[in-house]
């Protein structure tokens, strides 16, 4: 059996055009169960477009997409009703997803997100980190095989980031495939088991952080021993981006 056949997600040569502009140019991505894949690249690289196609929000103009099971999508900004409580938000989405026991699902998610004690609090009063955890918990309500996170740590302080990644890593450890986009290269290096580098809609690299360092060493040796972010920028420049 091939790797693609066992993958939780298999995207082949995805193309997306906005008028004359090609936002994605034959981008491919395969991810297995429990993998943590970071999609990185400068602004306008096509990260959100790729995640939107994987989430089913956008239709690709060309290419193939195969998903093994449900896909949970967590948008960049928390998609929550700020005047409802934590539990009311979860209950609403559990009901809309048609869960047989929506209240049971809410309890499960509250426990998973570690927000059981704050269930009755109105979301507007929660910190950005906690809002993001509920945001992710809602994305997990459908028991997805693949969880897509669009820049999940934007706007969070370091402590909130650490708690968020602890939560996400635990999900991956439980077998959920997590694909996240980020601008933070250090974060991608630290938490991403694999990195997919996009620039101007083009896939430049797909592999581990160590493999990316090797690629930098061979293509931009002057930056190979600098910090990961500087090395990454040098790599992009060497590739003409």
Q: Tell me the closest approach of the beta carbon of residue 81 to another protein, in angstroms.
A: 6
Which lies closer to another protein via its Cβ, residue 78 or residue 215?
78
Segment near another protein (CB under 8 A), from 21-29, 90-98, 153-161, 212-220? 90-98
In angstroms, rounded to a whole number, what is the distance separating the alpha carbons of residues 37 and 166?
15
The candidate with the shortest Cα–Cα distance to 50, out of 224, 222, 199, 233, is 199
Segment near another protein (CB under 8 A), from 19-27, 75-83, 187-195, 219-227? 75-83
Is the distance from CB of 197 to CB of 40 less than 8 angstroms? yes
In angstroms, rounded to a whole number, what is the distance separating the alpha carbons of residues 193 and 7?
15
Q: Tell me the closest approach of the beta carbon of residue 106 to another protein, in angstroms.
A: 13
| The only residue of 13, 61, 88, 121 in contact with another protein, by rule CB under 8 A | 88
| The only residue of 97, 108, 184, 219 in contact with another protein, by rule CB under 8 A | 97
> Does position 209 bind another protein by CB under 8 A?
no
The residues in 118-147 that bind another protein, with binding defined as CB under 8 A, are 122, 138
> Does position 154 bind another protein by CB under 8 A?
no
| The only residue of 41, 46, 60, 75 in contact with another protein, by rule CB under 8 A | 75
Is the distance from CB of 92 to CB of 81 less than 8 angstroms? yes
Token duo for residue 106: 């809410």
> Does position 81 bind another protein by CB under 8 A?
yes
3-state secondary structure of 129: helix
Segment near another protein (CB under 8 A), from 59-67, 92-100, 182-190, 192-200? 92-100
Other Cβ atoms less than 10 A from the Cβ of 73: the count is: 20
Q: Tell me the closest approach of the beta carbon of residue 67 to another protein, in angstroms.
A: 13
Segment near another protein (CB under 8 A), from 28-36, 49-57, 188-196, 224-232? 49-57
Long-range contacts at 226-233 (CB < 8 A, ≥ 24 apart): 227/186, 228/185, 228/186, 228/189, 229/185, 229/186, 232/40, 232/185, 232/197
Which lies closer to another protein via its Cβ, residue 135 or residue 176?
135
Sign, CA torsion 27/28/33/37: negative
In angstroms, rounded to a whole number, what is the distance separating the alpha carbons of residues 19 and 23?
10
Q: Tell me the closest approach of the beta carbon of residue 75 to another protein, in angstroms.
A: 6
Task: Give, to the nearest 10 degrees, the angle between helix 228-238 and helix 209-219.
Answer: 50
Residues that bind another protein (CB under 8 A): 55-57, 73, 75, 77-84, 88, 92-93, 95-97, 122, 138
């Amino acid at each position: 059996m091939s790797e693609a056949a066992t993958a939780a997600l298999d995207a082949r040569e995805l193309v997306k055009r906005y008028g004359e502009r090609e936002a994605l140019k034959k981008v491919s991505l395969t991810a297995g169960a429990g993998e943590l894949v970071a999609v990185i690249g400068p602004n306008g690289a096509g990260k959100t477009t790729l995640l939107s196609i994987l989430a089913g929000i956008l239709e690709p103009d060309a290419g193939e997409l195969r998903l093994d099971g449900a896909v949970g999508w967590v948008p960049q900004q928390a998609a929550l009703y700020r005047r409802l409580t934590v539990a009311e938000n979860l209950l609403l989405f559990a009901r809309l997803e048609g869960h047989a026991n929506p209240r049971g699902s809410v309890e499960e998610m509250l426990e998973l997100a570690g927000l059981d004690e704050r269930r009755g609090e109105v979301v507007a009063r929660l910190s950005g980190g906690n809002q993001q955890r509920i945001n992710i918990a809602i994305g997990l309500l459908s028991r997805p095989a693949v969880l897509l996170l669009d820049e999940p740590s934007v706007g969070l302080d370091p402590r909130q980031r650490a708690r968020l990644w602890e939560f996400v890593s635990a999900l991956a450890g439980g077998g959920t495939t997590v694909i996240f986009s980020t601008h933070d290269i250090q974060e991608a290096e630290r938490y991403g088991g694999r990195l997919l580098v996009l620039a101007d809609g083009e896939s430049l690299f797909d592999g581990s952080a160590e493999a990316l360092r090797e690629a930098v060493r061979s293509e931009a040796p002057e930056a190979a021993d600098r910090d990961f972010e500087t090395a990454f920028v040098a790599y992009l420049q060497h590739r003409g981006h």
